[in-house]
Structure 1
Amino acid sequence: MSTGAAAIYLEQIRAQLSDLPPGELEDVLQDVSGHLSEVAAEFGTEPTTADLQARLGTPEQYADQLRTAAGYPPRQPQKDDLDAGWNALRWGLIAATVGPFFVAVAIFAWSRTETSFFGLLGFGVLFVAAFFGVLALHGKHPRVVLQTAHGARAATAIRGWIDQIPPNVRHELVTIGQPIWWVARGMIGAGGFFALFGAPAVTVVGALAGAVVSIWIGRRTQQDGRWLWYVVPLNVVAAIAVPAFLAAAYMGASFGFLDTYGTRHGGSAYNPPDNGLRLNGTPISNVYPFDAQGKQVSVRLYDDDGNPIDLELQDCAAVYGQARREGTSNLFPQPVIVPDENGVVTDEENCKDTTKAPFTPPPVPATTPTQTPPTPAPPTVTPKPTKPSIPHGTPTATLPVKPTR
Structure 2
Amino acid sequence: MNSTLTGAVAIYLAQVRAELSDLPPGELEDVLEEVSGHLTEVAAEFEQEPTTAALQERLGTPREYAAELRTAAGYPPRTQPVADRDAGRKALRWGLIAATVGPFFVAIGIFAWSYEETVFFGVLGLAVLFGAAYLGVRALRGNDPRIVLDTPRGERGAEAVRGLIDQIPPNVRRELVTIGQPVWWVARGAIGGGGFFALFGAGAVAVVGALAGAAVSIWIGRRTQQDPRWLWYVVPLNVVAAITVPAFLAAAYLGASFGFLNNYNDYSSNPAAYTPDGLALNGMAVSNIYPFDAQGKQVSVRLYDQEGNPIALPRQDCDTHNGRVDPNTTSNVFPHKIVTPDEYGNVDGENCKDSDKAPFIPPPAPATQTTPPTSTPTTTPTASATTRPSVTLTVQPTR
Give TM-score, length-normalised by structure 2. Answer: 0.67
Equivalent in 257, 260, 268 of residue 259 of structure 1: 257
The answer to whether the aligner puts 1:162 opposite 2:192 as a matched pair is: no
Q: Is the 8 A contact 2:112 2:260 kept in 1?
A: no
Paired AA for residue 335 in structure 2:
D
Q: Is the 8 A contact 2:115 2:260 kept in 1?
A: no
Q: Is the 8 A contact 2:192 2:213 kept in 1?
A: yes
Residue aligning to 1:26: 29
Residue aligning to 1:272: 274
Residue aligning to 1:17: 20
Structure 1 residues 363-402: aligned runs within 5 Å: none
Equivalent in 75, 81, 89 of residue 86 of structure 1: 89
Residue deviations 1:182-211 (CA, integer Å, cap 9, x gap): 111112223333332122123322222111
Q: Is the 8 A contact 2:113 2:259 kept in 1?
A: no
Q: How far off is 1:332 after superposition? A: 6.7
Equivalent in 332, 335, 344 of residue 305 of structure 1: 335
Give structure 1 regions of 4+ aligned residues with deviation exceeding 4 angstroms: 268-271, 275-278, 329-333, 363-369
Aligned CA distance change for structure 1 residues 147 and 267 (closer, same or farther; 3 Å): same
Alignment identity in percent? 67
Q: How far off is 1:277 after superposition? A: 5.2
The answer to whether the aligner puts 1:127 opposite 2:157 as a matched pair is: no
- Whole-angstrom CA distance in 1 between matches of 2:40 and 2:242: 34
Residue aligning to 2:381: none
Give TM-score, length-normalised by structure 1. Answer: 0.66
- Whole-angstrom CA distance in 2 between matches of 1:49 and 1:364: 91
Structure 1 residues 1-400: aligned runs within 5 Å: 1=3, 2-252=5-255, 258-260=256-258, 263-268=261-266, 272=274, 278=282, 305=335
Paired AA for residue 222 in structure 2:
R
Q: Is the 8 A contact 2:114 2:259 kept in 1?
A: no
- Whole-angstrom CA distance in 2 between matches of 1:271 and 1:94: 39
Aligned residue pairs total: 304
Q: Is the 8 A contact 2:92 2:154 kept in 1?
A: yes
Paired AA for residue 83 in structure 2:
D
- Whole-angstrom CA distance in 2 between matches of 1:271 and 1:114: 21
Residue deviations 1:224-258 (CA, integer Å, cap 9, x gap): 11111111111111111122122223332xxxxx3
Q: How far off is 1:271 after superposition? A: 5.4
Unpaired runs of at least 5, structure 2: 284-293, 302-333, 338-359, 375-399
- Whole-angstrom CA distance in 1 between matches of 2:193 and 2:297: 53
> What is the SS of the residue equivalent to 1:45?
coil
Q: How far off is 1:14 after superposition? A: 1.7
Residue deviations 1:119-165 (CA, integer Å, cap 9, x gap): 11111211111111111111111100000000000000110111111
Unpaired runs of at least 5, structure 1: 253-257, 282-291, 293-297, 308-328, 334-362, 370-405
Aligned CA distance change for structure 1 residues 3 and 365 (closer, same or farther; 3 Å): farther
Aligned CA distance change for structure 1 residues 299 and 92 (closer, same or farther; 3 Å): farther
CA-based RMSD of the aligned residues comes to 3.6
Q: How far off is 1:30 after superposition? A: 2.6
- Whole-angstrom CA distance in 2 between matches of 1:97 and 1:330: 56
Aligned CA distance change for structure 1 residues 41 and 111 (closer, same or farther; 3 Å): same
Residue deviations 1:296-347 (CA, integer Å, cap 9, x gap): xx999x995389xxxxxxxxxxxxxxxxxxxxx98779xxxxxxxxxxxxxx
